Amino acid sequence: MQLEVKDKMTLGELLHAFEMVDNGLASITPEQLEAMSSKAAMKVDDYKYFMEKCEGEVDRLKKRIEEFQKTKKTIENTQRRLKEIMVFHMKENNFDKLVGNDFKVNLQSTTKATWKTPEPSEAQRISLSNYVRVKYEWDKKAIENELKNGDKEKFKGIAELGKTYYPKFYVQKRIGD
């Protein structure tokens, strides 16, 4: 059987044609063999060039992602610092509320335990076993709830309640809106 060599053949079609010729299932002229070999060589090069292009694109994107991550971190830090500055000035000057043209802000707080000892001692593991997990770490939520309920003496030297302040913004309703 004479093999038909088309002008445009995929790499798969070329390799299949070579396999048929190698197995004696098809025959081709030396000119067709030369043309197919040339096309296959070009396909191999094209695949490699395209893979290198993709690899370069991946490297370029990795660098851009790193740049974006740095920019994101910078913006997040700026936002955090602005909140801290606002809270500091509001607390320093005894303001719980501020009103702007478009927004008003209330100084709010949350109460959370701050940890003085990261892991319980052996004696604490026994005496406070209801608040220690199997991994021998503090059950922070249970202790925080006990602290909020007023049982501060039991956890003295372990944890205490502290307030964290943060600004909360609201859209200011304008007259006539």
What's the CA gap between 104 and 158, in Å, rounded?
38
Phi-psi region of 94 (alpha: psi -120 to 50; beta: other; left: phi over 0): left
Q: Which candidate, 105, 112, 113, 114, places its Cα nearest to that of 166?
A: 105
What type of residue is 120?
P
pLDDT score at 156: 86
Domain span at 141? 97-171
Q: Which candidate, 163, 166, 164, 162, places its Cα nearest to that of 79?
A: 166
| Residue 32: other Cβ atoms inside 10 A | 16
Q: Give yes or no: residues 19 and 74 share one domain.
A: yes
Per-residue pLDDT of the chain (177 residues; tens, 9 = 90+): 777 778 888 989 889 989 988 998 888 888 888 988 999 989 988 989 999 999 999 999 999 999 999 999 999 999 999 999 999 999 999 999 999 999 999 999 888 887 777 777 777 777 787 776 666 688 889 999 999 998 888 888 889 888 888 777 767 676 766
Residue 144 is assigned to a structural domain of this protein: yes
Of the residues 94, 125, 144, the one at which a domain ends: 94
* Domains identified in the chain, total number: 2
Q: What is the pTM of this model?
A: 0.51
Q: Give yes or no: residues 50 and 7 share one domain.
A: yes
Q: Give yes or no: residues 12 and 78 share one domain.
A: yes
Residue 20 is assigned to a structural domain of this protein: yes
Q: Give yes or no: residues 129 and 46 share one domain.
A: no
Rounded alpha-carbon distances, angstroms, from residue 15 to 10, 18, 27, 49, 119: 9, 5, 14, 19, 65
Q: Give yes or no: residues 86 and 118 share one domain.
A: no
pLDDT score at 133: 65
Residue 167 is assigned to a structural domain of this protein: yes
pLDDT score at 27: 87
Q: Give yes or no: residues 12 and 50 share one domain.
A: yes
